[in-house]
Amino acid sequence: MRNYCLLLYFIFIGIALQAQETAMNASEIAAFKEKVIASAKTTKTIKTDFVQYKHLDFLSDDVKTSGNMVFKAPGLVKWEYTNPYQYSVVFKEDQLLINDGGTKSKVDIGNSKLFKKLNQLIVNSVKGNMFSDADFTVSFIKSSKYNKAVFIPKDKKIASYIASFELLFNKDDAQVYEVKMIEPSQDFTRIVFSNRTLNGPVNDSVFNN
């Protein structure tokens, strides 16, 4: 029994060390940014499934939803939730198009600097290219499994909604596979992407909602 417990201990320690995060040095940051930016420049369309976890402090379990996301350069994004309900949101030019189970509405975000910034944040996070944004302080972290960029907003209005924004990148292709938005209350939304298809055909009608 003692040997079994020791074995479990060393397995646990090994897993913890494997996933340990450390800060990137200057040369690692430069190489990482170059790889991500190069990948983003060649990304014209994205189709991907996602699972979203909404963590609220007063709930014992995270609220789980799932669906699919479609992106088309330069700035069209559609989030479609399919389980456990039907709901879709399209960011299109200066408009937010909402389809709530067949009930459609439209929000003009053109006159709101905050909403335009949040829209830009979402588009750039999907592509993985946010490093030129002067509105954020960025830190870069590495592990054996992924690279991570943590964005902290400088703008007080944005910071009142988002305390930090984390992107996890695959180490091989520099594509974003997880997004985490942490609120000032420390509640957070975590989105995990899967089954991603890059640069396939996407008709503009997808974004009519």
Query: Is residue 152 scored above 50 in pLDDT?
Result: yes
To which residue do tokens 């369309």 refer? 45
pLDDT digits (tens, 9 = 90+) for 32-49: 999 998 888 888 999 999
String of DSSP letters for 158-169: HHTT-SEEEEEE
pLDDT band at 130 (very low <50, low <70, confident <90, very high): confident
pLDDT band at 75 (very low <50, low <70, confident <90, very high): confident
- Report the distance separating Cα 169 and Cα 175, nearest Å: 5
- Enter the DSSP assignment of 31: H
- Tally of residues, the chain: 209
Omega of the bond leading into 201 within 30 degrees of 0 (cis):
no
- Report the distance separating Cα 191 and Cα 178, nearest Å: 6
Segment 9-29 shows an average pLDDT of: 68
pLDDT for 91: 87
Q: Quick one: what percent of the chain has pLDDT higher than 70? A: 86
Query: Does residue 127 or residue 201 have the better pLDDT?
Result: 201
pLDDT band at 19 (very low <50, low <70, confident <90, very high): low
Pairing outcome for strands 136-142 and 164-170: unpaired
Contact yes or no for 138/148 (Cβ under 8 A): no
**Whole-prediction pTM:** 0.83
For residue 40, which of 153, 125, 135, 154 has the smallest C-alpha distance? 125
pLDDT band at 115 (very low <50, low <70, confident <90, very high): low
Report the amino acid identity of residue 166.
E
pLDDT for 125: 73
Structural domains present in the chain? 22-199 (2.50.20.10)
Query: Does residue 34 or residue 6 have the better pLDDT?
Result: 34
